[in-house]
Amino acid sequence: MAIDLKKLFLTDSTVNDKFSLALVKAIKGSAQPGFDYIKFKQSVQALSDMNMDTETSFKSAFATASTMGLTKTKLSQSVKFYKKVLEKERSKFAEALENQMETRVSKKKEEALKLQDRIQEYQQKIAKMKQEMEAYQHKIDNVDTEMAQAKEKIEKTKNEFLTAYDQLTSTLNEDIEQITSHL
């Protein structure tokens, strides 16, 4: 007859089924041979189900079990054995939980910090680009003034050249007239 460990141990209906089934499975997988704590517990439960009080259920189950070689010491050792089985499961759960924390929390925090660094880097690049844009805008704003100044300088240079040209050309023309008329 299969033993329903969940019914035997878990009387509180608010206990999470997933976890209770995993723990019961660990106990079942570690069952000791012979008449151990689990079989004793099952006997006590069967007697309690027949409306026997707790003390009488324990004493009757132990009297029967003692005929099969179970002693109080062996029973206590069996209980401690199953407590160790549950403690191993607790350790495995704690390790799995730690791994989940690492994966789902710590790595996300690390990712968020990297993204924050990237945002800061982009903000610095944006600030630098804004400075460059302001410098370019300043140049654009001054282009009309610079063009007017350049045009004025070119006109001045042109006028100075033409004045010198005209003066030289005039001198040459006068000299040709002098040569033609006097020679």
pLDDT in tens, 15-50: 777 887 788 888 888 888 888 898 999 898 889 889
Range of the structural domain that residue 102 is part of:
5-120
Is 164 inside any structural domain?
no
Is 148 inside any structural domain?
no
pLDDT of residue 7 exceeding 90, the answer is: no
Q: In the prediction, which pLDDT does 32 show?
A: 85
For residue 121, what pLDDT band results from cuts at 50, 70 and 90?
Answer: very high
Domain count across the chain: 1
For residue 1, what pLDDT band results from cuts at 50, 70 and 90?
Answer: very low
For the ranges 41-55, 76-90, 97-111, the lowest mean pLDDT is seen at 97-111
Is 161 inside any structural domain?
no
Arithmetic mean of pLDDT, 90-99: 92
For residue 3, what pLDDT band results from cuts at 50, 70 and 90?
Answer: low
Arithmetic mean of pLDDT, 174-182: 91
Is 155 inside any structural domain?
no
Is 159 inside any structural domain?
no
Q: In the prediction, which pLDDT does 12 show?
A: 65
pLDDT of residue 2 exceeding 60, the answer is: no
Q: DSSP readout, the chain?
A: ----HHHHH---TTS-HHHHHHHHHHHHHTPPSSS-HHHHHHHHHHHHHTT--HHHHHHHHHHHHHTTT--HHHHHHHHHHHHHHHHHHHHHHHHHHHHHHIIIIIHHHHHHHHHHHHHHHHHHHHHHHHHHHHHHHHHHHHHHHHHHHHHHHHHHHHHHHHHHHHHHHHHHHHHHHHHHHH-
Q: In the prediction, which pLDDT does 135 show?
A: 93
Is 11 inside any structural domain?
yes
pLDDT of residue 75 exceeding 50, the answer is: yes
Is 180 inside any structural domain?
no
pLDDT of residue 90 exceeding 80, the answer is: yes
Is 61 inside any structural domain?
yes
pLDDT in tens, 135-175: 999 988 888 888 989 999 999 999 999 999 999 999 999 98
Arithmetic mean of pLDDT, 73-81: 93
